[in-house]
Structure 1
Amino acid sequence: MLRISNHHVSKIISILFAVEVLVLIVSVYLGTSIRFRDTTDSFAAHFDRFFLPACAFTMTMLFSMSALGMYQLKYREGFRNTLLRLMPAFALGFGILTLVFYLLPELYFGRGILGLVIVISATGILLARVLIFKSSEFGLLESRIIFVGSGALAKECGQLAKHNIAYHKYHIVGYVPVSGEDTRVVASAMLQGGEPLAAMATRHNVGEIIVSVENRRGGNLPIKELLDCKLNGIKVTDAATFFEREACQIRVDSLQPSWLVFGTGFDQSFLRAFCKRSFDLVVSLLIFTVSIPAMLITSLCIYLEDKGPILYKQERVGKDGRTYMVLKFRSMRNDAEKAGNPQWAKSNDPRTTRVGNIIRKLRIDELPQILNVLKGEMSFVGPRPERPFFVQQLNEQIPFYNVRHSIKPGITGMAQVRYAYGASVEDAVQKLQYDLYYVKNNSLFLDILILIDTLQVVLLGKGAR
C-alpha cells in the first residue's frame, strides 16, 4: 500500500494509474505524429504544440474511467470484461471532451486525430490492464505476511487479506497462536511454536507481521520478539491499522481509545480548514450551476404529482453536536411519519412517491443541501448528518459515535460511496467505521476521490432507497 495524503492506495492501482497516464499522453503524440508525419516541425515544436491538448485528453479520460469505477478492482478482469468497462468510460470521455473543445477551442486537434488517438489509447490501456492483471495473478506484487494470534480477530484479518480485492496481494504464511486465546483458524494454517518470531519470519521471507490479538492483557503478547522483528527490518502492524489500510475502516469493536489519541491524522489545522472551505464553495457553485435544469424539472414533477411542498426541512445534528435544518427535495408523502416517531428508510419504502423513487436513485433529492454548504452548516464531503432522535439512540449503542460530529457533515461521504443506504443500527455501525476513517484521514485528495466515486454512484444508481 502507498500512502497519499493519509489515504492508502494499493500498489496495483498506483501502477495501473501511472501506466495509463503514460499511455494516454503518448497516444496523443503518436496520433498527431501519424497525422502530421509529412510536416517539418521539430520534436520540441511538436511537443509544445500538443502539450495542453494531451493534458486535457489525459485528465478527461482518467476522470471518466474513475467515474465509472475502473479503479475499483472488486473482481477479476479478463480481456472481455475490461473491454466492456472501457467502452462506456471512453464514450463518457468523448462526451466531456466535446464540451471541453467547445468551451476551449484552442485545445481542439481535429476529429480525425481525436478518433485515431482514442483508438490508440483504448488499445494501449486494454493491453496494459491485461498485462498488469496477469502479472498480479502470478504473485509479482505479492506480500508475505504472518498473523500473531489465532482467534476471531485474526480470522477476520485473514479473510480481509484474502478477499479484500480479487487480485491476490497477500500470501498468508500462517498464524502464530498466543496463550489464553481461543483458536478460530483452521489447524493447517497454524505455525508451530518454539522458534523465535524473527527467525520464523526470515525463514519464510515474510515482510510484515500483523498483531491480531484481541485481549493483550496478561502478558500474552510477545513484545520482545515483535521488537526483534522490527529491528531486523520486518514491518509490524496492529489489527486496527491493518483494517484502516486495507478496508478504509476504523473498527469500533476492537478499537482502543489510546490508538486514536496517539495515532496520526485528525487534521483540524487552519490550512486544512481553508482548503476544505474553498473546495466546498467551488464544487458547490459549479454543481449548482450545472444542475439548475435538473432541479427545475424535479420541482415541477414533485408539484404535479401530489400538489404538495417541493422542499422540506428536517432537523439534523451537525458539527460539535449543534443542530440545523437540512434542505432536501421531498421524496416521500406528506404523512410519511404520521405516527409521530422517526423511522429508518427501508428498501422499496412504501412512503416514497413515484418521483421520489427516481430522484433518490439519482441522488437529486440531495441537491438543495448545496444551500446548507454555502451557509457553512455543511461541507460537500463529510459524514452524513443524522436526526437528533437517531443520534441519541446511536450514541448509547455504538462506541465513538460522537467522533463523527467533530467535523461538518457532508452531502456525500466515505460511507455513502462504500456502503449501501443505512437502515438499522447494524448499518450505522458499518457506516460509522467508514466515517471514522474519513474524520481521521480527511484531506483534499480524499475529498476529490470521494467526489469522483459519488459520480459513479449517481451514474450507476448504487445504494439508493
Structure 2
Amino acid sequence: MTQQQEREADGLVLETAQVSEAPVQRNRSMSEVVEAAEVEPDVYLTSRPMLGVRSAKGWAAWMIVPPVDAAMLLLPLLWNGNHFKAILLMAAVSMALLFGAGRYRARLHLSVLDELPTLMGRLLTAGAVVATLFALINNQAEVASFLGTLLVTIALVLVGRMTTTMLILTARRRRVVAHRTIIVGGGVRAAEMATLLARYPQYGLVPVGFVDDSRDCEAGRVTSHLGRVRDLELLVPATGADVLLVADGDLAETELLDIVRSPECLDCDLLVIPRLPQFHTQVGIVDHIGSVPVMRIRNPSLEGPTWAAKRAFDVVVSALALLVLAPVMTVCAIAVRLEGGPGFLFRQDRVGRHGQVFSCLKFRSMKPATASESATQWNIGNDKRVGPVGKVLRRTSLDELPQLWSILRGDMTLVGPRPERPHFVSQFSAEVDRYDHRHRVRAGLTGLAQVSGLRGDTPISDRARFDNYYIENWSLWLDAKVILRTFSEVFFARGR
C-alpha cells in the first residue's frame, strides 16, 4: 500500500458547507442527518485525507515513560547486588508514588524542568522511606553505601526522563503522535488555539475543526466549521477525535455539559480554557498551549477495576456489619415493636441506579396514615407522630441499618447519593437542574451531601449538586473520607 493510500485509509475528515438550520437529532447516523436536511447540510463527510495524520487514539507516547522509569530504578542491580532488596523496594515505592501523583498523565507542554520539583520530591520521599528501613537492620557503613546508590538511582531516573521527553517531542513534531482535536467554540480564543496547534506540533494535538452554534465565527477563518455543539456525538466517532478543547463562542453550557458526558464523548480527553486565562493559579503545575493556561477536566469513569473494588468492599463490609450489629438491630426492632405495635420494618420504593426502583428497608420511626402519604408526603423530623424511640433512631441514623441488606443484594452501596421515592424523583427531575444525573451510580447508605449537613428538610438543589460533585470526583479515598465523617455524624448524633 502506498503512503497516499495509507493516508486515505486512515480516516475521514469533515469539510464545511453552507450552514443550515435543520436540527440534528441524537442517536441518528450522519447520513440520516444529511438526508433529512431540507437545504444544504450543515456538515458532511468526504474521504479526503486529513493532513496525512494518523490518529493516536488508543495509545500515547507517554506510555514509554513508566517502563523507562522502572528500568532506571532497577539499573543499579547490574553492579550492586549487595543492596538487592533495598533497590527493589526503592523501585516499588517510587513507582507507587509517581503513579499516585498522576505523573504519568500526558502533558501538553513537555518540560523536564517543570516536572523536576515534583519528581525529585517523590523520589526523595521514597529514598527516605527505604533508607530508614535499611538503617534499622544494617550498620552505618552499609547505610552510607546505600545512600550513594540512591543518589545514582535518582540521577539515572532524571536521565531517563530527559531521554523520553526528547523522544515524545520528536514523535509529536513529526506527527507520529497527533491526537485529533475538535475545538468547542468559535470565538477569538478558539481561533487562537486552532492557529497555535497548527503552528506548533509539539503539543501533540491536530485540530480537525470546531463546533459552534453561531454561523459567524472567528475560528472559521483558520479552521473548518464542523457543525453545532449538539453534533459532537456524531462528529467524535466520525472524525476519530479523542480530544475536545473547550474554548469560547456561542455555547449553551448546560447542553455542552450533557453532550461531553455522553457515551460517544466520554473517552475523549476534555481540555478547558479558563474564562479568564490571564489569571493563573497559585498552586500546582498548570498545563498550557503557548501562553494560554489549559485545565484537564476529569471524565468520571463509572466502570472498571476501582468500581469492582468498591463493590467488593460493599459486600464484605455489609456482610460483616450485619453480623456484628445483629444485637443492636435486635434491640432496635424490639424498641420499635414496643412503641408502635406490630411491623418494626418499613418498606418503601426508592429509585436507584439507572432509574431502577427497589424496595428500601428502614426501622419504622412513625406510621403513615395511608400508603399514598408514605409515597408522596415529605415528612420531617419534628412530625408529632414520631415517638421517643423514632427520634433516637433518626438522630443516630440507626433506622438506616436494615439497608445493609440492600447493599449486600446490590441495590445500594455504602457511599453514594441517598435514594428518593419515585414521586419526588419525577418532581425534582423537572425542577432541579441535573437532578436525574444522581442515578448514574448506585444509591448509598450515606453520602457526601449527608455528611456535609444536608439531611432532612434541606434544599434539594444543594443535595443534587453535592451528589453530582461526588460522582464527578469519585475515588476510593473520597469514599473513605465520607465513611469517616459518617461516624462523626452518628457519634455526635447531629439531627436531621
* Bin of the TM-score, shorter chain as denominator length: 0.3 to 0.5
| Larger RCO, structures 1/2 (Cα 8 Å, 6+ apart) | 1
TM-score by length of 2: 0.42
Larger Rg: 2
TM-score by length of 1: 0.44
